[in-house]
Amino acid sequence: MIDYLTDTPWVQQAVLILGGFLLGILTERILVRAFQTLAKRTKSTWDDLFIEGIHQMPIVWGTAAGLWGAMLVRGVDPYIRSILGKILTIVIIASLSLVAMRLASGAVDRYTSRSGARLTSVTLVNNLVKLLIFILGLFLILQNLNIEITPLITALGIGGLAVALALQDTLANLFAGISIILSGQIRPNDYLQLSGGEAGFVTDVKARNTTIRTFPNRNLVVIPNSVLASSIVTNYSLPRPSLWITVGVGVSYDSDLEEVERVAVEVAEQTLEAVTGKAPHEPPHVRYRAFGDSSIDFDVLLPANTFVDQFVIRHEFIKRLHACFNEQGIEIPFPIRTLIISKNENTPASD
């Protein structure tokens, strides 16, 4: 039986291919899963990233190794061996490129998720990284196949000019998206308001457009990157997410302004203690603003931790201030206008 196996080339080839395939499966099912279990117990996320990057690749590499060994068995036609060698080279480079794309994409996600990172983990960044690795892998494959790269690059340069002319809008949005990301002034989860009136939380920056989710309706608004880059944008999340809420109030001219200020500050402090979302270490303020037609107008400034927190703080403060003013006898007057109509003596009296 042993002599039959050693003297029969196709049997040896089948054994090598099947053995490589089984070795790859065993490596994936036993070693990779064991390393995955160990990686979950560590605090670092980079070992998890490595395991995710090589997921199912041992099967490909084991099978490729078996095929490579099968080619070395005597009796294989040199032409077929050459063809299979090129195919295996393509498979190995493609699989390594795929692993590199996974690792690079995961590394971008982990790097940009850290506090203070300038770049943002968005679809456009990941796609550009993957595209760069794909192009490098393609060039390596062409080089190993003895295909000249220089004429190809020249042809791509000439063809790229024609493509650029045909896709001006697409390329304008692409470069505008890259500019938005590199500027670091618009990030996912930032609350933006455009000069055109659109407002919401940034969900993603893609090659052609940026998507924002409105609040509180949660509708999705799609904005071309070129439009966003050329608009006047107010980012309520930068340089810090906290902000001041302004609540305008008016009191009667007969009111004691010192007492009004004391009550307003006290109610504001009680409101901030009762609700969540207040900005830490920021006391409320009262600032008188103007002598109105029927009231002395002032603003109450309350700190909020995020843009969303302002609504519940404003809601609760207005209720509490109204109740407290009623208890203290502080009047919030209605707008009153006095009209003086002079009687014209030359107008004949009516019967």
Over residues 192-242, the pLDDT tens digits come to: 999 888 899 998 888 888 999 998 888 999 999 989 988 999 998 888 888
Residue 41 contacts residue 3 (beta carbons within 8 Å):
no
Phi-psi region of 75 (alpha: psi -120 to 50; beta: other; left: phi over 0): left
Q: How far apart are CA 5 and CA 16, in angstroms?
A: 12
Q: How far apart are CA 328 and CA 141, in angstroms?
A: 83
Residue 325 contacts residue 332 (beta carbons within 8 Å):
yes
Q: Tell me, what's the pLDDT at 302?
A: 93
Q: Tell me, what's the pLDDT at 351?
A: 46
Q: CA nearest 92: which of 122, 125, 129, 67?
A: 67
Residue 68: Cβ within 10 Å count: 17
- pTM of the predicted model as reported, rounded to 2 decimal places: 0.60
CATH number among 3.30.70.100, 2.50.20.10, 3.40.50.720, 3.30.565.10, domain 243-328:
3.30.70.100
Q: Looking up tokens 């002598």, which residue turns up?
A: 291
Q: Tell me, what's the pLDDT at 321?
A: 94
- 245, β-bridge pairs: 302
Q: Tell me, what's the pLDDT at 138?
A: 86
Burial of 138 (0-12, 13-18, 19+ CB in 10 A): middle
| Tens digits of residue pLDDT in 73-127 | 766 777 778 888 888 888 898 999 998 988 888 887 777 666 444 455 567 777 8
Q: How far apart are CA 115 and CA 166, in angstroms?
A: 40
Q: How far apart are CA 252 and CA 281, in angstroms?
A: 32
Q: Tell me, what's the pLDDT at 115?
A: 47
CATH number among 2.60.40.150, 3.30.365.10, 3.40.50.150, 2.30.30.60, domain 171-235:
2.30.30.60
Phi and psi angles of residue 92, each rounded to the nearest 5 degrees, phi first = -65, -45
| Tens digits of residue pLDDT in 256-266 | 999 999 999 99
